Structure 1
Amino acid sequence: MDGILNINKTTGMTSHDVVAKVRKILWQKRVGHTGTLDPAASGVLPICIGQATRVAEYLSESGKAYQAEIIFGAVTDTYDTEGTVIRTAPVAELTLPQIEQALSHFLGPQAQLPPRYSAIKIQGQPAYKRVRAGEEISLEPRSINIAHLEIIAWDSPRLTLAIECSKGTYIRSLAYDLGEHLGCGAYLGALVRTRSGPFLLSESITLEQLAVAAASGSVEEHLFPADRALQDYPALLLDATTAERVLHGNAFRYDHYNRDLPISTDLARVYDTGGHFLAIAEWDASQRNLKALTCKGQTYAKHGICNDNFSKRAYYNNYWQL
């Protein structure tokens, strides 16, 4: 079984818990998630099965979208409801226009300091474990980008916010920083991931639904092809000769007379003329060619990441023919 499941994670579960459940339901060993979603959060968690685990790292680079509830007037040590309240402040005079103005300061590229209670590794150990052990730790700010912030509802002291952001963005830190900017403090009350890369909450299934599908033999209906995770990368359609070279792990030259080829990108999806996904190719500027990426010395194509049921309509409306 190969493909990607779009799982709607419930609160209280870690991402590893979901992976373990999927392994048990499907009787599959090769299962992996594409980026941690906090236990207190729910929503989209793409799970890669079989050969699709080889594209997990590329999906983890994709942008995310969330719906968050931010509660003003208090600060917790974890920046969410799981922690201890360390200070409070009145919010009776906090207005929606003030919040709107404050939010404008958090749009665009920026440096964000992650929460001390996070899974970021410090010398091999998660930061939150070191903090709980009484250690004083220091985390470095991370470069992130918040592309969109939209107020969904305001019922003081609770704000519901839609967020579109880059990977690595901590919504808990956004809540904390927003509260500090307004001078009243804030923490994250609830969080739902509504999108991870191309995977939407509206397309997701619960673990309970997956179990029903497994019992009825209909899991394949819920599997997305591996290249769904790569749709942000340009697609290259190869002729039969070049496709054969890729299958044997050889590099191939791009048509330098075709000025539409997006050689400024580092990676591309590679297909044969039948629309079958063959490999992920990496641009080599020094050699002016592309080469199928390897994993343990072999190309993705040799490991079988291709899908006969691949949908041209959904996954490559724009491609460059070589």
Structure 2
Amino acid sequence: MDGVLNIYKPEGITSFDVVKSIRKITGEKKVGHAGTLDPMASGILPVCLGKGTKIIEYIMENHKVYVAKLKLGIITDTYDREGKSLEEKPIDCINKKKIEETIKSFVGVIEQVPPMYSALKVNGKRLYELARKGIEIERTARQINIDSIDILEIEIPYIKFKVQCSKGTYIRSLCYDIGKSLGVGATMWELERVENGPFKKENSQPLSNINPENIKEFCISIEEALNKYPKLSVKGETVKLLRNGVQVKNKYLIGDIPLNKMYRIYDEESFMGIGIRTVDGLKISKLLF
């Protein structure tokens, strides 16, 4: 079985628990998820099967949409409600206007420091492994993009908001940074991922709904999962060269294909894989079929 399942992960289990369940249901050895959700979080978790595991990196590039709730006045070591409380601060100075202005200031390209409790590796060690031993190390800030933040509800000390963001964004860190900017601290209280590129909550399937009889019905083709990339058909000598890993530079063969774009490349009508057109030519980045 080759493709992608749009699974809705419930709270209380890990993303790998979902992978194990799907592996057991399908009997497929090659199964992987495209973007970890913490156990306390719920929402969209694309699960790739068979050859679908080859496109995990492309799904990971998708922008995401989350609905989150934070609590003001408390800071924990994990930046979420499951962590150890480190500090509590009074929030009498906080009002709705100040909250709105502060949150709006995070829209755009910003620098974000990943939390210690994350799966990022530093010198071969995952940060959460060090954190569990009580070791905190300096983390390099990374550039991320917050496309938009919509405040859904303010009931101090709680703030509920919807955020669209680039890959690599930690909503826990965003909550922490909002609290820091307000001067009272904040901790993520709830999190739901409602979109991951073309994978949306409304067309997802709860893990509990998936069984051996219906799983094929819910499996999205690799081609469909990559439909954010425009279709590009090639033929003849170009097909042979691309399949052999050659970068095609001949302008007669590649014509005026726009530069610096990724494409779904087809041998006439048969899907081959993902390719990129640069100033150096056209080349297959990932041959899938």
Q: Residue type of the partner of 2:288?
A: Y
Residue in 2 aligned with 1:291? 283
The whole-number CA distance in structure 2 between the counterparts of 1:149 and 1:92 is 24
Residue in 1 aligned with 2:265? 270
Identity %: 39
Residue in 1 aligned with 2:218? 222
SS at match of 1:106: coil
Residue in 1 aligned with 2:231? 235
Give unmatched runs, 5+ long, in structure 2.
Answer: none
Do 2:117 and 2:131's aligned partners in 1 also have CA atoms closer than 8 Å? yes
TM-score normalized by structure 1? 0.83
By how many angstroms is 1:262 displaced?
2.4
The whole-number CA distance in structure 1 between the counterparts of 2:171 and 2:118 is 12
Number of matched pairs: 288
Q: Residue type of the partner of 1:79?
A: Y
Equivalent runs, 1:15-34 vs 2, <5 Å: 15-34=15-34
Do 2:79 and 2:173's aligned partners in 1 also have CA atoms closer than 8 Å? yes
The whole-number CA distance in structure 1 between the counterparts of 2:254 and 2:104 is 44
The whole-number CA distance in structure 2 between the counterparts of 1:71 and 1:147 is 22
SS at match of 1:24: helix
Deviations 1:211-240 (A, max 9, x none): 2xx2xx232221111133323333212346
Q: Residue type of the partner of 1:108?
A: G
Deviations 1:281-304 (A, max 9, x none): 133533xx212235xxxx322xxx
By how many angstroms is 1:81 displaced?
0.6
Between 147-156 and 118-127, the greater mean CA deviation after superposition: 118-127
RMSD: 2.0
Give unmatched runs, 5+ long, in structure 1.
Answer: 302-322
Equivalent runs, 1:77-116 vs 2, <5 Å: 77-116=77-116
SS at match of 1:293: strand
SS at match of 1:232: coil
TM-score normalized by structure 2? 0.92
Do 2:238 and 2:253's aligned partners in 1 also have CA atoms closer than 8 Å? no
SS at match of 2:205: coil
Do 1:240 and 1:273's aligned partners in 2 also have CA atoms closer than 8 Å? no
The whole-number CA distance in structure 2 between the counterparts of 1:254 and 1:14 is 49
The structure carrying a bigger strand percent of its residues is 2
Residue in 2 aligned with 1:53? 53
By how many angstroms is 1:134 displaced?
2.4
The whole-number CA distance in structure 2 between the counterparts of 1:10 and 1:257 is 47
Do 1:292 and 1:300's aligned partners in 2 also have CA atoms closer than 8 Å? no
The whole-number CA distance in structure 2 between the counterparts of 1:136 and 1:76 is 14
The whole-number CA distance in structure 2 between the counterparts of 1:28 and 1:257 is 38
Q: Residue type of the partner of 2:54?
A: R
